[in-house]
Structure 1
Amino acid sequence: MFHSIMMTNARPSELTRCWLVRVSTRVPAATLLSIILLSTTCFGARQTAPNIVFILADDMGYGDSKPFGRELCQIETPSMDRLAREGMRFTDAHAPNSVCVPTRMAIMTGRYAWRFGPPSPGGAWGFLGTRFPTTQFTLPKLLKPAGYQTAYIGKWHLGTKMVTVDGKVQGIDNVDYTKPIETGPRQYGFDESFILPGSLDMYPYAFVRDQDWVGKVTAKKGWSAFNRVGPAAEDFEDTKVLDTFSSEAESFLARQNKQPGRPFFLYLALTAPHTPTSPSGAFEGKSRIGIYGDFVMEVDHCIGRVLTALDEHDMADETIVIVTSDHGPASYAGRRRKATVNQLRELEDEGHFARGPFRGFKFSIYEGAFRVPFLVRWPGEVPASTSCQRLIGLHDLMGTLAEIIDRPLDDAQGPDSVSFLPLLLSPTAEAPRKTMILQSVRAFAIRNADWKLAFCPGSGCPGNYGNRPKQDDAWAAALVDFGRKPNRSELLQNPFLQLFDLRSDVSESHNVAAANMKMVEKLHDPFRRTIDSGRTRPGPRLSNYRTSIPTFSSVPKSAKPSR
């Protein structure tokens, strides 16, 4: 008979050094004591730190996988189902932003994107300049001093600096594709990388391995969603990108298998189900809801390939696997390849709710834009087949990994990243994160427990892609309701903001701000404090790179206070 022995009174950081040890009840006491003492200072037969695989889908909604969508999901996702069985589901995980770039900034830095100043000069789409300085503390800079081999594979979308033929700012017509890029993942701390600079519908359509362009970038291509035609590698095909990234991930894992004892960090950023909706031939026709479902199924297959590779290399027990999405789904994706507003609403008529039970889509201030699937598997540490209902943010990854590897962040590192390691060990533990600021394309909101306060009327976005009410329409209606243009202090009143009790109103159908002004004040105070202090975690005040971050970030001229 065997018993499991572990330091149940240890701090979480000690638990990462104290792995499961199995001993026989017949082992002599002196030997047993030696085993226990050894287990408190090392991983026993394991390596000294867990491997980490972070997989980020692109525009995948809360309801796009069975573990989260349940009866609202009409797509088969066996790999995510497996992770849910073998690990933990987080049902209240949030992206900090409802669009790609700022969410990815926050994940990489542990800092809200709106704290950063203007980006470096760049061009359109994948030619955008760097989003923050290369001196910024990042995930690989946290992990490399702890001995990790770090790799970034997939969609980058954090900006680059490319060599140009005329010495001017990079753009669609002047990049020298025969020269290495000057700034990319390597300059932010990764040991190796294989990236698409922008997105699958954002030129240039070409890969970059480490610093070098892959193939001859001499073609012009564009894909069906928005038909953005631009520079492309001659052999680049939209339907082959997911397979390419998965193969690169498999190759990386195979290389790490030849370096036993050295932990690794793999950041795999997939390009789907973001438009263009381009499943490979092997997946087209597999889903009952058309090519959108096919594309999600291929995303799930990519996740499965990583899990299989970990199994084949006998790495699974030593590896933390995290799977999530950068924000909610885009309403213009669906059965048709051309981006068409409200396609996802059409799929709802067929029983598939990509946004789950929530209101809103990508770009908006509503939960459908922020609530994301979040799965964690960590054998021996995270209890299998469990769910956690506590609030976490994607930008909490840095703080969590820092605690897992016992490398405390200093006061300036990851100031908005709150470790959720206690929840991984016990999903009903007290929530480490009390509040979280959310940002749509035109507005802020704050979450606190089950309350959510949005500093805007309506959807918090222009509404070009199906979100309702449109920003301008909502503000116009609010002015009519209020009877005149408000002064600055009056903006913090109904009807210029929205308060929702998500415990009883998960669909955000009932604005209860008018009857709960004390709660509005209670939520506004930590919102301003978090902005003005430059941080979420306790510590000394930090400066935001932006000199002014107003509560109401986008007020139409018709409603802008005169004082």
Structure 2
Amino acid sequence: MTLNRNVTRCLLVVLSCAMHLHSSVAAERPNIVFILADDLGYGDVKAFGGDKCKVDTPHFDQLCAEGMKFTDAHVTDSVCVPSRTSIMTGRYAFRFGKAEQGGPWGFTGLRFPESQHTLGDMFRSGGYATGYVGKWHLGTRMTTRDGKIQGPENTDFTQPIQIGPSDYGFDKCFFLPGSLDMFPYAYIRGKQWQGKVTAQKGWSAFNRVGPAAEDFVDTEVLSTFCKEAGSFIHSQAKHPKPFFLFVALTAPHTPTSPESEFRGKSRIGIYGDFVMNADACIGRIRKQLADAGIAENTLVMVASDHGPGHYSGRRLQATANQMQEMEKDGHFSAGPWRGYKFSAFEGGLRIPFATVWPGVINPGGVSDALIGLNDLMATWADIAGIQLSSSQGPDSSSFLSVLQQPDQSHRRSLVIRGTRSDAFRDGDWKLILGPGSGSSGQFFTEPRSEDAWKKAIKVFGRNPKNHKELEDATFVQLYNLKNDPAETTDVSVGNQNRMKSMLADYQKLIRDGRSTPGAPLSNDRDVKAFRPPAFVWKQ
């Protein structure tokens, strides 16, 4: 009886807190500003990296001090497009079908159809004004002179684009089609190209030369985005309607192009300068909120789209593993985690994430709850009092209660992916569905996926015949992140039952088309748990 009374008392306390939080939200819905950095590592922020961080990040640190930081926050994918897809839709990117065909780099086609429900659609349906500023990288449909697939040679830059952020629920938008090292190097406001796109330019990292606006300068992009964000904030502050603003920075992703005032400012070279420049953007945007008199009723969240690329560093040219040169001097962009961008290890997937919400979130909070940025849709829906349908945000789970009580747990499991292998979190356990780092290509993390698969096949004794045989411990990795946060010791052989249980849970999540409660949904394509290279099946 005593146990039952204690359980009841605890439930009443939790319910009371939840009712208080919801009532405060309902009384005056907050403005919401989300700032997403590009390739910013966990260890690039002092509040997260601690002694392993040699860059000053006062604005991100202040946000953590005034609000709450999350130590176990993840993106769903360790590369830009699928990570941003999951954020924008609340749906795992692996569930989507083939993207609309487009050209290279920033000429990429639509990553999902116009009918897809997005953050912009959600907020607009809830009576919010919506704005998007920064890197888009989710595809556009451009006007071409010949009616064929868009590309550098046939895009008509004198005509408006046909489909962009404004078709996904954003009332106002000012954006780059891709990353700062991906042509075309020109802004789009609404659907109209800005300036005369008649030049050919390229930047330091990869020297990708392509169409550019005559007045486009790489070192002015961050300041331009901050000014545009400020203009949106001040214009909306004059109206009673709350607003949602998504600000997607282009730093510290290559090219490493800090504003002149940040050159030489850090202790570790130009990469650190660019990180400091990105950090300053947080301060600039928060100052705009304060100057507009609306900071007290604005929720601000800041995160990164995935871990750092090891090809960034002190040299402007993208150079494999040059990030390790900074590590020798004590700066670890990935923090204490193993791996980098593109990999299935924590360094590519665990990100700095913090939020401030005056009067609701207590200052100095720290949450160890497992969350994914795919959870933002459901969380913001709860905060804004917007009801999602059963098919909307099918992989998004609200962590609103954690904002009030940081010691609460959130989700038990989460799908996180490298470019060549999936991983599945279950509490402190992490299952990687494939040998090696889950990355390949020029900028892989050791061990390269293909090399690891060849080694695993030798251990297995032959090439596997089907996906069922891939479920052998030879082809997976299992880590306990509580005991082994650096993912140094694969314990799959000694934990076969746990490995099989986690794999079964992941396969069910795939089949159900969702990870939240509700009727099963369909994936847009056939999805397998394992993604081995083609040579694995050769007998």
**TM-score normalised to the size of structure 1?**
0.92
For residues 388 and 8 of structure 1, what CA distance do their matches in structure 2 show?
Answer: 17
AA at the equivalent of 1:492: E
AA at the equivalent of 2:446: R
* SS of aligned partner of 1:293: helix
For residues 173 and 10 of structure 1, what CA distance do their matches in structure 2 show?
Answer: 61
* SS of aligned partner of 2:33: strand
Aligned equivalent of 2:187, options 207, 219, 224: 207
* SS of aligned partner of 2:268: coil
Q: Which residue of 1 aligns with 2:224?
A: 244
Q: Which residue of 1 aligns with 2:3?
A: none
Q: Which residue of 2 aligns with 1:356?
A: 335
After superposition, give the CA deviation of every residue in 1:415-436 in whole Å (9 maximum; x if it has no partner).
00010111111011132x1111
* SS of aligned partner of 2:94: helix
5 Å-filtered alignment, 1:527-538, equals 527-538=506-517
Q: Which residue of 1 aligns with 2:106?
A: 126
For residues 149 and 108 of structure 1, what CA distance do their matches in structure 2 show?
Answer: 16
Q: Which residue of 2 aligns with 1:78?
A: 58
AA at the equivalent of 2:438: G
Shift of 1:92: 0.3
Paired residues of 2:222 and 2:249 also in contact (CA < 8 A): yes
Paired residues of 1:453 and 1:523 also in contact (CA < 8 A): yes
AA at the equivalent of 1:55: I
Aligned equivalent of 1:186, options 142, 151, 166: 166
For residues 13 and 398 of structure 1, what CA distance do their matches in structure 2 show?
Answer: 20
The reply to whether residue 15 of structure 1 matches residue 21 of structure 2 is yes
The reply to whether residue 171 of structure 1 matches residue 151 of structure 2 is yes
Paired residues of 2:110 and 2:139 also in contact (CA < 8 A): yes
For residues 408 and 12 of structure 1, what CA distance do their matches in structure 2 show?
Answer: 17
Q: Which residue of 1 aligns with 2:537?
A: 560
After superposition, give the CA deviation of every residue in 1:306-341 in whole Å (9 maximum; x if it has no partner).
111111122111000000000000000000000001
Q: Which residue of 2 aligns with 1:549?
A: 527
For residues 262 and 334 of structure 2, what CA distance do their matches in structure 1 show?
Answer: 22
Q: Name the structure with the higher helix share.
A: 2
After superposition, give the CA deviation of every residue in 1:368-405 in whole Å (9 maximum; x if it has no partner).
00000000101111111010001000110000011112
AA at the equivalent of 2:516: R
Paired residues of 2:343 and 2:444 also in contact (CA < 8 A): no
5 Å-filtered alignment, 1:347-386, equals 347-386=326-365
**TM-score normalised to the size of structure 2?**
0.96
For residues 167 and 322 of structure 1, what CA distance do their matches in structure 2 show?
Answer: 41
Shift of 1:358: 0.5
For residues 184 and 485 of structure 1, what CA distance do their matches in structure 2 show?
Answer: 45
AA at the equivalent of 2:451: D
Residues 138 and 533 of structure 1: CA distance in aligned 2, closer, same or farther (over 3 Å): same
C-alpha RMSD over aligned residues: 1.3
After superposition, give the CA deviation of every residue in 1:214-273 in whole Å (9 maximum; x if it has no partner).
0000000000100000000001011110010001011111111211x2101000000010
5 Å-filtered alignment, 1:54-203, equals 54-203=34-183
Residues 51 and 367 of structure 1: CA distance in aligned 2, closer, same or farther (over 3 Å): same
AA at the equivalent of 2:537: K
For residues 302 and 511 of structure 2, what CA distance do their matches in structure 1 show?
Answer: 32
Aligned residue-pair number? 526
Shift of 1:555: 3.1
Aligned equivalent of 2:479, options 486, 491, 500: 500
The reply to whether residue 483 of structure 1 matches residue 457 of structure 2 is no
5 Å-filtered alignment, 1:159-308, equals 159-259=139-239, 261-308=240-287
AA at the equivalent of 2:276: M
Q: Which residue of 2 aligns with 1:22?
A: none
The reply to whether residue 467 of structure 1 matches residue 445 of structure 2 is yes
After superposition, give the CA deviation of every residue in 1:183-219 in whole Å (9 maximum; x if it has no partner).
0000001000000001100000000000100000000
Shift of 1:160: 0.2
Shift of 1:142: 1.0
Name structure 2 gaps, 5 residues minimum.
Answer: 1-12
Shift of 1:14: 6.1
- Percent sequence identity is 51
Aligned equivalent of 1:510, options 486, 489, 492: 489
For residues 438 and 15 of structure 2, what CA distance do their matches in structure 1 show?
Answer: 46
* SS of aligned partner of 1:220: strand
For residues 64 and 348 of structure 2, what CA distance do their matches in structure 1 show?
Answer: 22
AA at the equivalent of 2:138: L
For residues 11 and 152 of structure 1, what CA distance do their matches in structure 2 show?
Answer: 33
Paired residues of 1:475 and 1:556 also in contact (CA < 8 A): no
Greater mean alpha carbon deviation, residues 387-396 or residues 10-19: 10-19
Shift of 1:556: 3.7
AA at the equivalent of 1:78: P
Paired residues of 2:234 and 2:292 also in contact (CA < 8 A): yes
* SS of aligned partner of 2:474: coil
Paired residues of 1:16 and 1:405 also in contact (CA < 8 A): no
* SS of aligned partner of 1:17: helix
After superposition, give the CA deviation of every residue in 1:62-93 in whole Å (9 maximum; x if it has no partner).
00001100110000001011101100000000
For residues 393 and 218 of structure 2, what CA distance do their matches in structure 1 show?
Answer: 35
AA at the equivalent of 2:307: G
